Structure 1
Amino acid sequence: MSNFKTADIYNFRQLFFLDKFLIGHNGFIAGGCFKNIFNGERVNDVDIFFNSMSDFENAKKFFEKQIKDKPNLWRKSYQNKKVWAVYSIKDKIRIELIKSVFGSPKKIISDFDFTITK
Structure 2
Amino acid sequence: MSAATVWSRRVLVLAGTAAMAWWVWLALTSVPSHWWLPWGVWLAGSVALNDAIIAPLVIVLGWLVLVRLPALARERSRGRVVAEEPARIWAGVVLRGAVLVLGTLLLVWLVALWSAAR
> What TM-score do the two structures reach when normalised by structure 2?
0.24
> What TM-score do the two structures reach when normalised by structure 1?
0.24
**Which structure ranks higher in relative contact order (CA pairs < 8 Å, sequence separation ≥ 6)?**
2
* Between structures 1 and 2, the one with greater helix share: 2
